[in-house]
Structure 1
Amino acid sequence: MHIPTRQTQDLEILTFQQALVPTNEDYDRTKWLYVPDYYADYRYLLGTRGENPLICIGINPSTAAPGDLDNTLKSVERIAAGNGYDSFLMFNVYAQRATRPEDMDQVCNAALHRENMAAFRYVLEQVGAGYAPAVWAAWGTIIEKRPYLRDCVRDMVAIGEAYGAQWLCAGKCSKKGHPHHPLYLRKDEKVRPFAVVPYLDSL
């Protein structure tokens, strides 16, 4: 479990470009994408490399790392493979590590959000030629934990439009329309189109 000891505004945050600079060799970089490449109070990216990744969007990262996936990431990996993707990338609406979402920053850290959006652009640019970015909305009801999370997603939607991103979901949406969290989905669950803009407008 990761419990933040302070708000991210009190931390020194690496820019995304700074966090891309390698600092250790504890995992196979030809297979894994992990930014920063060490355990920190925030995480921009975690996933595997490929031409056609399934880009899963959660709310915020927990403790997972290359070769040490938590149950959520194991489910993401299974769903990606079951839907014909050659890799998966775990991205989050907000980059602060917090196993319990109620421990997230009370107020959005604008600097952290800006760098997280730079990371999202990078993710979309990793998709191979001939593929449209497949963006799987998978945050469940946790988006209700903080008012700023909806605005963060709106920024992601705007960025995704420039790359032709296709928004998807898997499993049954909640009564309020929230897309299902990756946990407890069948391994053969199929992704399907998700109307993210009407959904955001309804919140």
Structure 2
Amino acid sequence: MKAKFISLPENNPNFRYYLGKKGKNNLLVVALNPSTANVHKHDGTSDNIEKITAVNGFDGWLLFNLSPQRTQYPYLLGLEPKIKMLEQNRHFLNQFLKDNDWSIGSVWLAWGNNINLRHYLKEEALHVLSKIRDLNLNIYCIKLTGTGHPYHPSKQSVNRYVGPIDKIEFHPFEIDSYIKKLKQN
């Protein structure tokens, strides 16, 4: 079966560094952690990502996560960071941002309140935010949670709190105040 998406690794049940579909107008998406999507099939989140990016004028997307550890339930992420895995995740994201052969000019932040589940998720978010801020990219979210985090695009949260998938628009994200907030908590 021919792969529909690019993924590294292609189909490892324990971790994934990135998943995407290259187009002419590409968007970098940063979410919390990978679930079940792979090179052949979407999961609920990646399905929503593809639909929301299309509604907002992007025909390609590349999904990275704060943690590459796969789980359908973020509360099952390891209590302590898997250092080597997180270092590899940072390496691939940094390499992608440096090379940027996808010509990405925009980023969608999408990790939700579950960033509070593990201390290392905030640390990874701060790393990602510092990297993308320095590149002067357009930074978006679909909505902020009640506690000020960028909404995650899971089927349940989008349908319940954000609205119809074909009407969801990106909103500018204020990165400097968010970084300040993360550092204080």
User: Normalising by the residue count of structure 1, what TM-score does the alignment of the two structures yield?
Assistant: 0.77
What CA distance in whole angstroms lies between the structure 2 residues aligned with 1:155 and 1:68? 29
Give 5+ residue unaligned stretches, structure 1: 1-25
Deviates further, 93-102 or 32-41 = 32-41
Counterpart residue type for residue 58 of structure 1 = A
Runs of at least 4 residues off by over 4 Å: none
Q: Does 1:175 align with 2:155?
A: no
Which amino acid is 1:27 matched to? K
Write the letter of the residue equivalent to 1:145.
L
Contact 1:150-1:200 at 8 Å conserved across structures: no
Q: Are positions 1:76 and 2:55 aligned together?
A: no
Stretches of structure 2 lacking an aligned partner (at least 5 in a row): none
Per the TM alignment, residue 160 of structure 1 is displaced from its structure 2 partner at its CA by 1.8
Aligned-pair Cα RMSD in Å: 1.8
Q: Do residues 135 (structure 1) and 107 (structure 2) align?
A: yes
Tell whether the 8 Å contact from 1:51 to 1:126 is kept in structure 2 after alignment.
no
Higher helix share: 2
CA apart distance, 1:146: 0.5
Deviations 1:114-160 (A, max 9, x none): 110122124431332xx52x111111111011011111011112222
Could you tell me which residue of structure 1 aligns to residue 83 of structure 2? 110
| Deviation (angstroms), 1:38 | 2.2
Deviation at 1:58, TM superposition (A): 1.1
CA distance in 2, matches of 1:151, 1:65: 26
AA in 2 matched with 1:117: R
Residue 167 of structure 2 aligns to a residue whose secondary structure is: coil
Counterpart of 1:198 in structure 2 is: 177
For residues 96 and 42 of structure 2, the distance between their equivalents in structure 1, rounded to whole angstroms, comes to 19
Give the CA deviation at 1:193.
1.1
Amino acid corresponding to residue 195 of structure 1 in structure 2: E
- Percent of aligned pairs with the same amino acid: 28
Counterpart mapping for 1:14-93 below 5 A: 26-28=1-3, 32-93=5-66
Counterpart CA distance in 1 for 2:90 and 2:23 is 21
The answer to whether residue 127 in structure 2 is matched with residue 152 in structure 1 is: no
Q: Is the 8 A contact 1:53 1:89 kept in 2?
A: yes
Q: Match of 1:23? A: none
